[in-house]
Structure 1
Amino acid sequence: MLIYCWNINGIRAAEKKGLLAWLTQTAPDVLCLQETKADPIELSDQLLRPPGYRSYWAAAEKKGYSGVATYCKQAPTAWRVGLGIERFDREGRVLMTEHGDFELYNVYFPNGKASPERLAYKLDFYDAFLAHVDARVQAGKQVIFCGDVNTAHQPVDLARPRENEKISGFLPEERAHLDKWLAHGWVDVFRHLHPDARDAYTWWSLRTNARARNVGWRIDYFFVHQRCLPRIKAAGIAADVMGADHCPHWIEVHD
């Protein structure tokens, strides 16, 4: 199973930039999108049901904000929205689809740059999400989660670590949460398979022509629990794919 993940920074804008043509050409089994910024009732049939796919949505209460969508070639055996926590679920950040014997979580983690309150919200979300997926593993489930984590974990994961030490997205307290994920048995798939990869980024600021200079951040991830790790055979970043300030990244999952 080929799974792609992409923060497309507005699905209607991405549609105009060729999202559906890219989907047809790439043909992943599953595509997880973040920051869709749309309620599905407002979207075209082409976006909701592109040829060969079904789509599942989590929309924010606030219009034009947040949101995730998962496109599947085969209908999942189950799906659900949210964590069951109202303060997080109203922002449409979590969508789970079940594929055979594993659960796939498509997540748009909060950004903490706006204010100290939003940073606290982000860290609370990290804690709540970890508790949720840990409980699923303890219940005997195989779990994969992916999305825009909004934090670069290690200095190798961004081009200018020293300059960003006091910026949300690379703060010590944010990075410590990702350390905690690893301590709980979660594995950063790309870094596990490509431990020496450098200049491998998934997001570039639109303000400074950063993408042309590859001054970027790796803030988009696939994490799998170590129990599921033997099934992951490949992972990569499609940095050549344009259309948003993020690029797609992917993994291959085998039976």
Structure 2
Amino acid sequence: MRIITLNLNGVRSAASKGFFQWLKMQDADLVCVQELKAQTSDITAEILAPDSYHGYFHCAEKRGYSGVGIYSRHEPDNVIEGLGIPEIDAEGRFIRLDFGHLSVISIYFPSGSSGEHRQAAKFFFMERFFPMLKKLADCGSEIILCGDWNIAHKEIDLKNWRSNQKNSGFLPEERIWLTGVFQELGFVDVFRQINVEPEQYTWWSNRGQAWAKNVGWRIDYQIATPGIAAKANAVAIYKTERFSDHSPLIIDYDYNL
């Protein structure tokens, strides 16, 4: 089972940069995407259901903003859109597909970088999402949460960690919260389970020459319950082509849907 996750920074923009042509060659079972920046009524049938995939989406109420989706080659048993919290669901940040004893989630955490009001929205999201993560951890199914968590966990996970300790995405409170997801709830950072090397980033600012100099952040994850995490056998961050300011995170699991 191959799962890809990518913040598209606009599904139509990514499509224009060849994302769906690339996807046809990846043999992925599930593709989790974030930041659609579109309503389903805005986008073409090719984008809604590319190649042999069927797309499931949770769009934001605001046009051209946020939104998540999952492309699947397999028909799910159940689809859940949103968390049941109106302020969060209005921004289209959560969709879950259930396949027997496995659930795959596409999630997009708020960014707090645009100001205090958005950092407050991020903390609001984190506070309410943690008990939901606990329920997922305890539900008896295997869970894989894919997406842009907008938090770099450790110093190894961003180039300029010293100068970013007071910036959203690397605040002490955010990092402690994510540590709790791993240590208290037992979830696994699947990429780091296999690859412990430095300079493994998934997002680069458009400012300066961040991409050219690999001045990046690792803020995109596949975070899973221990059983399915143990079945991961290969990880990769694809950087040969650029479809977005993020790069696709690809993980293979020894598991059949």
Q: TM-score range by the shorter chain?
A: over 0.9
What is residue 187 of structure 1 aligned with on the other side?
188
Letter in 1 for 2:186: G
* TM-score (normalised: structure 2): 0.95
Letter in 2 for 1:186: F
What is residue 27 of structure 1 aligned with on the other side?
27
**Structure 1 residue 234 displacement after superposition:** 2.1
What is residue 244 of structure 1 aligned with on the other side?
244
Letter in 2 for 1:151: I
Contact 2:7 2:148 in 1 (8 A): yes
Contact 1:151 1:170 in 2 (8 A): yes
Deviations 1:192-247 (A, max 9, x none): 1112x111100011111211111111111110122332222222211223121000
In structure 2, stretches of 5+ residues that fail to align are none
Deviations 1:157-213 (A, max 9, x none): 001111111111111111111111112101111111112x11110001111121111
Q: Does 1:170 align with 2:170?
A: yes
Q: Does 1:110 align with 2:110?
A: yes
What is residue 93 of structure 2 aligned with on the other side?
93
**RMSD after superposition:** 1.2
CA distance in 2, matches of 1:127, 1:214: 32
CA distance in 2, matches of 1:180, 1:121: 19
CA distance in 2, matches of 1:163, 1:240: 28
Secondary structure at the counterpart of residue 167 of structure 1? coil
Letter in 1 for 2:25: Q
Alignment: residue pair count: 254
Secondary structure at the counterpart of residue 213 of structure 1? coil
Deviations 1:13-44 (A, max 9, x none): 11111111011121311111100100111111
What is residue 198 of structure 2 aligned with on the other side?
198
CA distance in 1, matches of 2:67, 2:12: 13
Contact 2:137 2:187 in 1 (8 A): no
Percent identity between the two aligned chains? 39
Letter in 2 for 1:188: D
In structure 1, stretches of 5+ residues that fail to align are none
* TM-score (normalised: structure 1): 0.96
What is residue 121 of structure 2 aligned with on the other side?
121
Contact 2:112 2:118 in 1 (8 A): yes
CA distance in 2, matches of 1:149, 1:252: 20
Letter in 2 for 1:103: S
Letter in 2 for 1:44: T
Q: Does 1:214 align with 2:214?
A: yes
What is residue 78 of structure 1 aligned with on the other side?
78
Contact 2:11 2:36 in 1 (8 A): yes
Q: Which moved more, 1:88-97 or 1:76-85?
A: 76-85
CA distance in 2, matches of 1:168, 1:136: 26
